[in-house]
Structure 1
Amino acid sequence: MEKIWMKHWPPEMAKEVALTEGKIPIFEYLRLNAKRTPEKPAIINYGREISYKELDEASDQFANYLLELGLVKGDRVGLFLGNSPQYIIAHFGIQKMGGIVCPCSPLFKEMELAYEVNDAGMKCLVTVDIFMPIVGKALPNMPSLLQVVTTNFHDYLPAEPTLPLVDYMQIPKQKIEGTMDFMDIMAKYSKTPPQVEIDMDNDIALFEYTGGTTGLPKGAMLSHYAHLFKPSAACDIMGIGENSRVLTTMPYFNIAGMLFLVGPVLRGATNVLLTQFDPLTVLQAVDKYKVTEWYSAVPMNLAVMAHPDAGKYDMSSLKLNMTTSFVVALDEKISKKWEAFTGGCLLLEGAYGLSETHTLDTFCPRQKIKYGSMGIPSFNEEFKIVDFDDKSREL
């Protein structure tokens, strides 16, 4: 196939994805960065810093807990919680013991949760205590679960948060009988790295459920290589490196948000984590932590600019903001307004992509911006346009 789009490829960007440490699982990148820069913040969570060493050791502890529970390579573990350090720790921990991460939307009700748990055959579910009314009602209909692990947002919040909290993050921790407390795992389990052999091309890292627009959601089975390749591509396209501070507001359970759960770890960067978008919190986070990259949705950018206190905060650290035209389409007017508001940060359409491909199948080249377009095919992609009625006929 002739890749005619390559004539628009950014001249400053390599044509092959940079797998900076080689074709190895993402958790090995975490281990390498924990050895290289152990005290560097991997995550800043409302002022609470989690170092690369702590993230590496905590995910080892979670992996060892799952192994003691009786889980083996290929078993599925669900994550039913919002953006949090616990989500990231569990994500890496599951894969460190060879398990398959199964993200569940934190907006699920009982029927939706039970469907995905049963469809995937999940053996353990990690959730927040405030979701237990939903989990509890669904439990009798989720027979594959061996254990539920509960946590609370306070478990990884500082005594005095540096950024505003959304209301539900302030709910005190609850002891839930019959569940395993996440912090008990962190207190009791070994930090010894578990050993597992990973076939990058054939072993599954992730069940990413589709949106269910044409029927019930289906679990897209994504390999460890896909789980390395696409977040690495996101880093290349956005210019994320070891000195980056990446603001993450998009939900981690979504395949696009997950790019920026994984990407900063691959490059040894710092993830400035927000559990939920709030315009004032974004303004304060960018100003206080000198955020360099952000992946947003267009309504988020509009809300930030419209905040009455927007002019009080310094946004000049931002270098690039990729966004998604969700509800509101990005146009040149919005993009130019954002660039002026931040003092020079480009606002570009992020990507088109599928859950089945780990998303990021296209991107917008900075030197050839076309508003209303999803850009050009990304690394190693093959696209063709066919007749709608006769799909064997290329146009």
Structure 2
Amino acid sequence: MQKTIDRPWTQFYPEEIPAEMNYEIQPLHALLENAEASFPKNKAISFQGTTLTYQELGEQTRAFANELSALGVEKGDRVAIMLPNTPQSVIAYYGALMIGAVVVQTNPLYVERELEHQMADSGAKVIVCLDLLYPKVMKVKHATQLEHVIVTGIKDYLPFPKNMIYPFIQKKNQGMKVKVEYSRTVHAFKPMIKRGSTSKVQVSIDPDHDLALLQYTGGTTGLAKGVMLTHRNLVANTTQCLQWMYRLERGKEKTLAVLPFFHVYGMTVSMNLSVMSASETIILPKFDPKEVLETIQKEQISIFPGAPTMYIGLINHPDAASYDLSSVQACMSGSAALPLEVQQTFEEMTGGKLVEGYGLTEAAPVTHCNLLWGTRREGSIGLPWPDTEAGIYSEENGMLPPNEIGELVIRGPQVMQGYWKRPEETAATFYEDWLLTGDMGYMDEDGFFYIVDRKKDMIIAGGFNIYPREVEEVLYEHDDIQEAVIVGVPDEYRGETVKAFIVLKEGSEVDEAALDAFCRKNLAAYKVPRSYEFRDELPKTTVGKVLRRVLVDEAQTEEKAKSS
């Protein structure tokens, strides 16, 4: 593959966006230190009525970092964070980075099987979890290298009287109150913050080579694999994002953080970008359309990164027109294709800009985006970001000319170092120094890129990546199932949803409800099939390989017929 390529897309860059940038060589947590030094009294975080200034956030983060050191956490050790969006998730993230630890973001929705694999694979030494998740963590701890569990609760950062009322609400909603048994290996988060030293931690970090993050994504074996991202990978991608949103005023913006921080997209464009720009981050633990509309109006939100399902939920809310959303200036949509109608309607509602971008975990994650203030093209994922090279490649013909379909390939400062402890899979994901995305697309004559299909079988539902192999392997554990194939089908709200094709063993009579209950015990809720189709046999090649594409086409045709 050729070493250099033309970059026709740079002709569309406004003068504020350079084709090449200088990246400050610094560790990721320096973003917080810089914001604290420049805007110590500015609000950094707002959460359910509680606010932290950048000085307070910095002090609490250093306290946590020092307490981690006191537990024996050293540079290179992995620290898992299993939290929804809360102040604690920000403090734990930057605190772990300050002592040179590697953050392992863990989805709070994981069931025990998924959690055990991730902890065992990463070799995490410490996990920070929500009190409601404590029982789940303790059930898998024996099968992992976890030495310490740090427990926190939503009420830890609620103001009075919410912090007094919350336990009763929690008990009512959950049906029971979780009892945490604290010990020399199980610790309470809030006391650690109170007693921890706020002095700066001195750890030497090489941003180019030292890992900041293991972000897990699906593997070809059906098990998640850790994407190795360095401090430089994440600083570079955040810097690129800030430059793309060049009208942001440092220290003056308000970002709505409803995208989960445990997802690399939310981590970069909500958390890291907000800290780099010294914005106030208004944190919501989950997406609720009414709460989001109220928050935008009350807080005068200017930056709102999200997923298409979120914008769809807002524009379809029956009371949307009654809210003043005019403060919204810039929104980047990711995780799935953004329908043109949704983009146009949301821009009419707010007067701000909503653009579609593209990325993948292996690129920290953003590589392409449409211009917020410039030329956009319908159906396009936009232009490659500064210092990001992209092309369309085929194994037979190398780099393809404009308008020919092939695999999208990428290289740039945000591209991962590889997969954790998986050299063979790493090698298979690169051609020379180009990252093979697994997405099929083309570039037009001007350098705008378009995605037409996924080479991989991955399903993207509501912004979550779902790998069919993982769901299939769970189904194969059921005694009554002979064959199972998972495909993605169109869904008006989630973008895609999960459908299972099932062949039962002879004489079995298991029904959809039983399979649903089985899957919910073994998979996070968003991975559970939404529909099941029972068949006597599945379409196969002459050598017995299931023709997944045939099933995908059949399912998509059926869904289109229903909606027409």
The corresponding residue for 2:152 is: 151
How far residue 325 of structure 1 moved from its aligned partner, in angstroms, is 6.0
Aligned mate of 1:336, from 344, 362, 366: 344
Q: Whole-Å Cα distance in 1 between the matches of residues 60 and 254 of structure 2?
A: 22
User: What residue identity is the alignment partner of 1:204?
Assistant: L
Q: Whole-Å Cα distance in 2 between the matches of residues 319 and 53 of structure 1?
A: 27
The corresponding residue for 1:100 is: 102
Q: Whole-Å Cα distance in 2 between the matches of residues 220 and 324 of structure 1?
A: 19
Aligned mate of 2:199, from 179, 192, 214: 192
How far residue 357 of structure 1 moved from its aligned partner, in angstroms, is 1.6
User: What residue identity is the alignment partner of 2:154?
Assistant: F
Equivalent residues of 2:62, 2:200 under 8 A apart: yes
Q: Whole-Å Cα distance in 1 between the matches of residues 88 and 22 of structure 2?
A: 28
More deviation, 33-42/170-179:
170-179
Unaligned runs of 5+ in 2: 402-564
User: What residue identity is the alignment partner of 1:3?
Assistant: R
The corresponding residue for 1:47 is: 49
Residue pairs, 1:42-191, within 5 angstroms: 42-142=44-144, 144-159=145-160, 175-178=180-183, 179-191=186-198
How far residue 297 of structure 1 moved from its aligned partner, in angstroms, is 1.2
Equivalent residues of 2:370, 2:383 under 8 A apart: yes
Paired residue secondary structure (2:256):
strand
User: What residue identity is the alignment partner of 1:306?
Assistant: N
How far residue 332 of structure 1 moved from its aligned partner, in angstroms, is 2.9
TM-score of the superposed pair, with normalisation by structure 2: 0.65
Paired residue secondary structure (1:296):
coil
The corresponding residue for 1:390 is: 396
How far residue 184 of structure 1 moved from its aligned partner, in angstroms, is 1.1
The corresponding residue for 2:306 is: 296
How far residue 68 of structure 1 moved from its aligned partner, in angstroms, is 0.8
1:265 aligns with 2:275: yes
Give the number of the structure with larger relative contact order, counting CA–CA contacts within 8 Å between residues 6 or more apart: 1
How far residue 256 of structure 1 moved from its aligned partner, in angstroms, is 0.4
Q: Whole-Å Cα distance in 2 between the matches of residues 393 and 3 of structure 1?
A: 13
Aligned mate of 1:249, from 231, 237, 258: 258
Equivalent residues of 2:28, 2:212 under 8 A apart: no
> In structure 2, do the counterparts of structure 1 residues 371 and 325 end up closer, same or farther at CA, with 3 Å as the change threshold?
farther
The corresponding residue for 1:359 is: 365
The corresponding residue for 1:223 is: 230
How far residue 131 of structure 1 moved from its aligned partner, in angstroms, is 0.6
How far residue 168 of structure 1 moved from its aligned partner, in angstroms, is 5.8
Paired residue secondary structure (1:221):
strand
User: If you compute each CA radius of gyration, which structure gives the higher value, 1 or 2?
Assistant: 2
Q: Whole-Å Cα distance in 1 between the matches of residues 285 and 220 of structure 2?
A: 26
Aligned mate of 2:382, from 367, 375, 380: 375
Count how many residue pairs are aligned between Structure 1 and Structure 2: 383
How far residue 93 of structure 1 moved from its aligned partner, in angstroms, is 0.3
Unaligned runs of 5+ in 1: none
> In structure 2, do the counterparts of structure 1 residues 173 and 287 end up closer, same or farther at CA, with 3 Å as the change threshold?
farther
Q: Whole-Å Cα distance in 2 between the matches of residues 236 and 212 of structure 1?
A: 33
How far residue 340 of structure 1 moved from its aligned partner, in angstroms, is 1.6
More deviation, 207-216/237-246:
207-216
1:110-147 residue CA offsets vs partner (Å, 9 max, x unmatched): 111111111111000000000112112111211x1110
Paired residue secondary structure (2:125):
strand
The corresponding residue for 1:317 is: 327
1:8 aligns with 2:22: no
The corresponding residue for 1:345 is: 352
TM-score of the superposed pair, with normalisation by structure 1: 0.91
Structure with a larger share of its residues in strand: 2
Q: Whole-Å Cα distance in 2 between the matches of residues 297 and 287 of structure 1?
A: 20
Q: Percent of pairs identical after alignment?
A: 31
Equivalent residues of 1:40, 1:51 under 8 A apart: yes
Q: Whole-Å Cα distance in 2 between the matches of residues 232 and 340 of structure 1?
A: 29
How far residue 198 of structure 1 moved from its aligned partner, in angstroms, is 0.9
Equivalent residues of 2:45, 2:52 under 8 A apart: yes
> In structure 2, do the counterparts of structure 1 residues 173 and 320 end up closer, same or farther at CA, with 3 Å as the change threshold?
farther
Q: Whole-Å Cα distance in 2 between the matches of residues 73 and 393 of structure 1?
A: 41
